[in-house]
């Protein structure tokens, strides 16, 4: 048997390469309706219709082989066989967006000019049809000199035909084999653009009246006045929903955790193991897990934005505001992704060509409110902000949450402004990004996406959050307190906490907060699980339930302290994985260390300011 041969998916951004990759290999690569989603090379295995296995490689989208950004460079290197430890792919699957042919044909010519076995997947023909285009794949095949297979990646249409075409070019049975397309070689970019125009015209059989919905939608959503208002209103609704819709589910989960904890208390004999379960597992990790509904709702909105095509519009709307702080709309998508998590956000900066733009974006990405902060914010808000409505039906808790997100954004803007004038000095680069077409999010994709995010959250709870919480619990459990003495004060952790407290007293933090901040370096949610565990260890009675954290915060923290704690988490870079990714993406320790220092500095200053302002206001 031959060694497994390799095929690579190449094409412009947002052509549907990853969607094809997922369908062909069964993988679950991220796909979303904006350019620049894939930033790394990913390999998977597909089986051709004749049963032969193929290693399929998904690549970042590119506009040309003159790589401008780090993600395009990956594509260039893989295709040219310069990627470390990899030979050139045997077959290139060139993915084109049928509804954007002219644009995609420019890079297509560059790919075909490599003269390698190539098959074109004429993807998104469903969208072309929606736009009123009827295409002629044969004419396109004739013009390009390679086989052209119409596909609809998201509906698995044309995949077998694509596989057969791959087999054919591979084994040299394709009619095009041996035929060169000399007219495609040695063209300059303007010549390629012109040729693309002609080819696109030749491939379009008929063009009925183009759907007008899209352009009229854009007239409203991209309007300089209405656009930002709609975006802002949309985000406002998101954060109201995170609180309002999640409540019944969160309450049910909380009750569930409480019931299980109570059952354990009743059935497991008193001792070390029972304490581990009730204080560490249920009161600690359980306190984080109950925020699953909030996380799922937040992600539902983010996914809908990504799938519908509104994400790229939001970037466009924000471009002007970003420019005023020295960034471009290009940074917006990495920053918006950071609302989920700064790690993919920082990775997404690979699509930014300008190195200083990119570095600035990496440095401010942790200021976007990632989903790990949600449990921290939610627990404190639930404890100290009354669950009432203001101004005729606006939930106060949701409003405070929204304000915290805005604080993060403003913090990031301010940081960008300062950085762009100091350490990452330079002019803002221009912003060009094509608008993807609007698409109705597919329910099934939505469900899969949500399940993946929920699973990531639960896995975190079961691994890093669990480990950090249990480590703290052990330090809180030993040495045992004498009768009448507080267990927390007597423990190793308590002694460390009391030492730390001196540092954070000026900004209004108590010992319990000081204690929770150390394990929370592993992940922000650990602040919540740690507080849960600290209060459970401290509690006299045995039946500790998950909502004890909220009650204890409400009972023992002053409002200024709670507000200072929230302010701290707007800035604090408490996530080792983010630091590690920043190190990888900037190739060294310099910038991650800088990031740690400036963010901790800002956290301390702003928590302090918040505390003293609140005290002064008499809150
Ligand atoms: N209607 C329709 N949508 C598609 C088709 N193929 C992909 N999509 C959608 O188009 C968007 C882009 O798909 P991706 O697979 O992420 O595109 P990509 O080429 O990998 O993009 P980059 O990673 O940014 O280079 C997603 O929202 C997909 O759901 C198709 O054939 N028809
Ligand atoms: Mg992709």
pLDDT > 90: what percent of the chain?
53
Domain boundary among 177, 207, 237: 207
Q: How confident is the model at residue 1 (pLDDT cuts 50, 70, 90)?
A: very low
Residue 123 Cβ contacting ligand 1 at under 6 Å: yes
The angle formed by the CA atoms of residues 58, 60 and 63, to the nearest 5 degrees, is 130
- Residue numbers of the domain that contains 537: 226-268+286-424+445-617
The predicted model gives 279-290 an average pLDDT of: 88
| Same structural domain, 246 and 365 | yes
| Same structural domain, 463 and 556 | yes
The angle formed by the CA atoms of residues 384, 390 and 393, to the nearest 5 degrees, is 120
Higher pLDDT, 401 or 2: 401
Q: Which atom of ligand 1 is nearest to the CA of 36?
A: 24
| Same structural domain, 243 and 198 | no
| Same structural domain, 175 and 251 | no
What digits encode the pLDDT tens for the residues 507-546? 999 999 999 999 999 999 999 999 999 988 887 665 555 4
Q: In this predicted structure, what is the pLDDT of residue 178? A: 45
Q: What are phi and psi of 91, to 5 degrees?
A: -130, 140
The residue nearest atom 23 of ligand 1, judged by CA position, is 38
Q: Which ligand is nearest to the CA of 32?
A: 1
**CA-wise closest residue to 104 among 154, 62, 156, 71:** 62
Q: How far apart are CA 242 and CA 220, in angstroms?
A: 26
Q: What are phi and psi of 133, to 5 degrees?
A: -100, 135
Higher pLDDT, 153 or 337: 153
Average pLDDT along the chain: 88
Tell me if 277 is assigned to some domain: no
Read off the CATH number of the domain in which 194 is found. Answer: 3.40.50.300
Q: In this predicted structure, what is the pLDDT of residue 120? A: 97
Residue 16 Cβ contacting ligand 1 at under 6 Å: yes
Tell me if 218 is assigned to some domain: no
Asked if residue 530 lies in contact with residue 284, where contact means CB atoms within 8 angstroms, the answer is yes
Q: Which residues surround ligand 2, an ion (CB under 5 A)?
A: 17-18, 37-38
What digits encode the pLDDT tens for the residues 302-359? 999 989 999 888 888 887 778 888 887 778 888 888 988 999 999 999 988 888 989 9
Helix (H) or strand (E) holding 389: strand 389-390
CA distance to 266, 277, 432, 528, per residue, from 546 (Å): 16, 12, 49, 11
| Same structural domain, 130 and 258 | no
Tell me if 276 is assigned to some domain: no
| Same structural domain, 201 and 90 | yes
| Same structural domain, 177 and 248 | no
Q: Which atom of ligand 1 is nearest to the CA of 15?
A: 19
| Same structural domain, 182 and 304 | no
Residue 533 Cβ contacting ligand 1 at under 6 Å: no
| Same structural domain, 601 and 455 | yes
| Same structural domain, 400 and 546 | yes
Which pair of tokens denotes residue 581? 């990714």
Per-residue pLDDT at 431 exceeds 80: no
Per-residue pLDDT at 180 exceeds 60: no
**CA-wise closest residue to 102 among 146, 140, 59, 148:** 140
Tell me if 216 is assigned to some domain: no
Q: How far apart are CA 536 and CA 474, in angstroms?
A: 13
Number of domains, the chain: 2
Q: Which atom of ligand 1 is nearest to the CA of 62?
A: 25
Q: In this predicted structure, what is the pLDDT of residue 184? A: 61
Ligand 1 centre from 14 Cα, in Å?
5
Q: In this predicted structure, what is the pLDDT of residue 39? A: 92
Q: In this predicted structure, what is the pLDDT of residue 272? A: 87
Ligand 1 centre from 123 Cα, in Å?
9
Per-residue pLDDT at 146 exceeds 90: yes
Residue 150 Cβ contacting ligand 1 at under 6 Å: no
DSSP state of 434: P
* Per-residue three-class SS string for 497-566: HHHHHHHHHHHCCCHHHHHHHCHHHCCCCHHHHHHHHHHHHHCCCCCCCCCHHHHHHHHHCCHHHHHHHH
Residue 117 burial (CB count, 10 A): 22
Q: In this predicted structure, what is the pLDDT of residue 327? A: 84
ipTM of the shown complex = 0.99
Q: In this predicted structure, what is the pLDDT of residue 78? A: 94
| Same structural domain, 194 and 55 | yes
Instruction: Work out whether strand 118-123 and strand 148-150 pair parallel, antiparallel, or are unpaired.
Output: parallel
The predicted model gives 419-427 an average pLDDT of: 85
Tell me if 215 is assigned to some domain: no
Residue 94 Cβ contacting ligand 1 at under 6 Å: no
| Same structural domain, 520 and 410 | yes
Q: In this predicted structure, what is the pLDDT of residue 131? A: 82
Per-residue pLDDT at 155 exceeds 60: yes
Per-residue pLDDT at 429 exceeds 70: no
Tell me if 370 is assigned to some domain: yes
Domain boundary among 158, 173, 207: 207
Rg of the chain, C-alpha, whole Å: 27
The predicted model gives 283-307 an average pLDDT of: 90
The residue nearest atom 13 of ligand 1, judged by CA position, is 16
Per-residue pLDDT at 177 exceeds 50: no
Per-residue pLDDT at 249 exceeds 80: yes
Tell me if 80 is assigned to some domain: yes
Tell me if 505 is assigned to some domain: yes
Q: Which ligand is nearest to the CA of 16?
A: 1
Q: How confident is the model at residue 190 (pLDDT cuts 50, 70, 90)?
A: confident
Domain boundary among 154, 177, 207: 207
The predicted model gives 204-225 an average pLDDT of: 78
Q: How far apart are CA 564 and CA 611, in angstroms?
A: 5
Q: In this predicted structure, what is the pLDDT of residue 67? A: 78
Q: How confident is the model at residue 213 (pLDDT cuts 50, 70, 90)?
A: low
């Amino acid at each position: 048997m031959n060694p497994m041969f390799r095929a690579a998916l190449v094409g412009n951004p947002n052509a549907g390469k990853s969607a094809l990759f997922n369908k062909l290999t069964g993988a679950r690569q991220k796909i979303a309706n904006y350019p620049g989603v894939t930033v790394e090379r990913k390999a998977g295995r597909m089986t051709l219709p004749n049963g032969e296995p193929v290693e399929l490689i998904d690549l970042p989208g590119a506009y040309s082989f003159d790589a401008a950004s780090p993600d395009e460079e990956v594509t260039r290197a893989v295709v040219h066989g310069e990627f470390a430890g990899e030979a050139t792919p045997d077959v290139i699957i060139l993915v084109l967006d049928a509804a954007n042919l002219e644009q995609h044909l420019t890079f297509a010519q560059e790919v075909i000019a490599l003269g390698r076995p190539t098959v074109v997947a004429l993807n998104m023909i469903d969208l072309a049809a929606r736009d009123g285009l009827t295409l002629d794949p044969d004419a396109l095949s004739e013009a390009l000199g390679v086989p052209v297979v119409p596909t609809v990646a998201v509906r698995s249409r044309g995949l077998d035909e694509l596989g057969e075409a791959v087999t054919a070019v591979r084994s040299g049975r394709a009619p095009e084999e041996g035929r060169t397309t000399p007219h495609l070689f040695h063209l300059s970019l303007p010549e390629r653009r012109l040729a693309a125009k002609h080819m696109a015209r030749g491939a379009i059989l008929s063009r009925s009246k183009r759907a007008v919905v899209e352009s009229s939608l854009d007239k409203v959503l991209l309007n300089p006045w209405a656009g930002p208002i709609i975006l802002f209103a949309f985000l406002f609704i998101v954060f109201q929903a995170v609180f309002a819709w999640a409540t019944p589910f969160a309450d049910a989960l909380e009750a569930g955790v409480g019931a299980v904890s109570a059952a354990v208390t009743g059935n497991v004999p008193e001792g070390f193991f029972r304490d581990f379960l009730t204080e560490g597992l249920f009161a600690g990790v359980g306190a984080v897990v109950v925020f699953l509904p909030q996380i799922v709702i937040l992600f539902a909105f983010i996914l809908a934005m990504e799938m519908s095509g509104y994400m790229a519009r939001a970037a466009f709307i924000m471009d002007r505001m970003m420019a005023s702080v020295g960034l471009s709309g290009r940074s917006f998508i990495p920053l918006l992704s950071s609302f989920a998590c700064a790690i993919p956000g920082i990775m997404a900066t690979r699509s930014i060509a300008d190195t200083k733009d990119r570095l600035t974006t990496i440095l401010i990405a942790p200021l976007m409110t990632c989903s790990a902060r949600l449990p921290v914010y939610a627990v404190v808000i639930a404890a100290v902000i009354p669950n009432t409505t203001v101004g005729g039906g606006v939930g106060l808790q949701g409003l405070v949450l929204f304000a915290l997100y805005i604080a993060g954004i403003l913090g990031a803007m301010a940081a960008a402004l300062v950085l762009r004038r100091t350490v990452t000095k330079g002019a803002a680069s221009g912003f060009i990004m094509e608008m993807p077409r609007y698409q109705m999010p597919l329910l099934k994709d939505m469900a899969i996406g949500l399940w993946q995010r929920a699973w990531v959250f639960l896995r975190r709870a079961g691994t890093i959050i669990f480990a950090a919480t249990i480590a703290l619990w052990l330090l809180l459990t030993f040495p045992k307190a004498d009768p009448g003495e507080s267990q927390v004060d007597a423990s190793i952790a308590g002694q460390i906490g009391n030492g730390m407290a001196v540092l954070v007293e000026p900004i209004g933090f108590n010992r319990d907060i000081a204690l929770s901040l150390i394990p929370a370096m592993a992940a922000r949610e650990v602040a919540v699980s740690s507080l849960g565990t600290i209060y459970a260890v401290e509690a006299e009675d045995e039946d500790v339930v998950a909502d004890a954290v909220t009650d204890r915060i409400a009972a023992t923290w002053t409002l200024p302290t709670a507000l200072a704690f929230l302010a701290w988490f707007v800035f604090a870079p408490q996530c080792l994985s983010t630091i590690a990714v920043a190190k990888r993406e900037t190739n060294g320790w310099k910038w991650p260390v800088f990031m740690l220092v400036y963010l901790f500095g800002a956290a301390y200053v702003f928590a302090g300011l918040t505390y003293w302002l609140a005290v002064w206001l008499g809150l």
